[in-house]
Amino acid sequence: MKLNNLHIGFIGIGVMGKSMAKHLIKAGATLHIYNRTKEKAMELIELGAKWYETPKELAPNCDVICTMVGYPADLEEVVFGENGFIQSAKPGTTLIDFTTSTPTLAKKIEQEAISRDMKSLDAPVSGGDLGAREAKLAIMVGGEKATFDEMIHIFNVLGQNIVYQGNSGSGQHVKMCNQIAIASGMLGVCEALAYSKAAGLDGEKVLSSISTGAAGSWSLSNLAPRVLKGDFEPGFYIKHFIKDMGIAIDEAEKMKLKLPGLLLAKSCYEELSKKGLDEKGTQALYMLYDPSHHVQ
């Protein structure tokens, strides 16, 4: 898939954003980038990406502006802040937000974009660092269907499971479904590993038996092996997962929906946060069950 002659802005060069940006460069796009920490973007600059000191300076040079930041507050800042890009982006620009944010903010961005003769899509992703590196992300998209159709060539560079979900905010709601399923699932994965260790079993053999059966999941296949190796580095940060669970709980309350599994998972991750483990990966939940693992 080629993106020649397309000028794409990419804001947020993190664990996943860097890999996503690399794929866009390799597909032929001219990439314009901004990140709070320039050092994290040096590899992309060496590949030809053009660096800007603020999102506001970046925006006029782009046909499409992508955001992949940590929190809804960060997204508000890069879009609407004093140096935000919405004020300087040219008419006709398409905004694609890959951040896991709130449906409410997705709608706010769309309304502002429309008022300025621009288009927007909320397109949160799933697949972690591995999915981003291998361009195998699941991308769930909300916004106008015509805009989705126009941007599909960009999504195809970044992922393999790309689904248009409906109007603005729908992508974020689907991402909440994804995070809810992962939250309780990670409890199950970690409890299974803790049980197998307590029973004196070989963890690798246990995974070889259960990962292809009814218990199979992405977390079991991709994160459980990291646990067995004592690798708790982030494919997805605990601090961001807590943020996502908080959004899901808030949205569920608005719909008068009770989610006890999600509440339990969030409380467990908050326990890890209190231990100073915010920067570790979600698989570090295992440490609640097996304190013999000490994070360096």
Taking the model in full, what pTM does it have?
0.92
pLDDT of 296 reads 43
- pLDDT tens by residue, 200-259: 999 999 999 999 999 999 999 999 999 999 999 998 999 999 999 999 999 999 999 999
- pLDDT tens by residue, 151-202: 999 999 999 999 999 999 999 999 999 999 999 999 999 999 999 999 999 9
Structural domains in the chain plus CATH codes: 7-168 (3.40.50.720), 173-288 (1.10.1040.10)
| Residue of 22, 107, 175, 266 marked catalytic | 175
pLDDT of 5 reads 86
43 Cβ neighbours under 8 A, 6+ residues apart: 18, 22
- Residue 6: name the closest of 93, 70, 109, 90 by CA: 93
Residue 175 known to be catalytic: yes
Whether 11 has a pLDDT exceeding 70, the answer reads: yes
What angle is formed at CA 202 by the lines to CA 200 and CA 203, rounded to 5 degrees? Answer: 110
Whether 294 has a pLDDT exceeding 60, the answer reads: no
Relative to beta strand 7-11, strand 137-143 is: unpaired
**What is each CA distance from 256 to 174, 230, 250, 252, 267, in whole angstroms?**
18, 40, 10, 6, 20
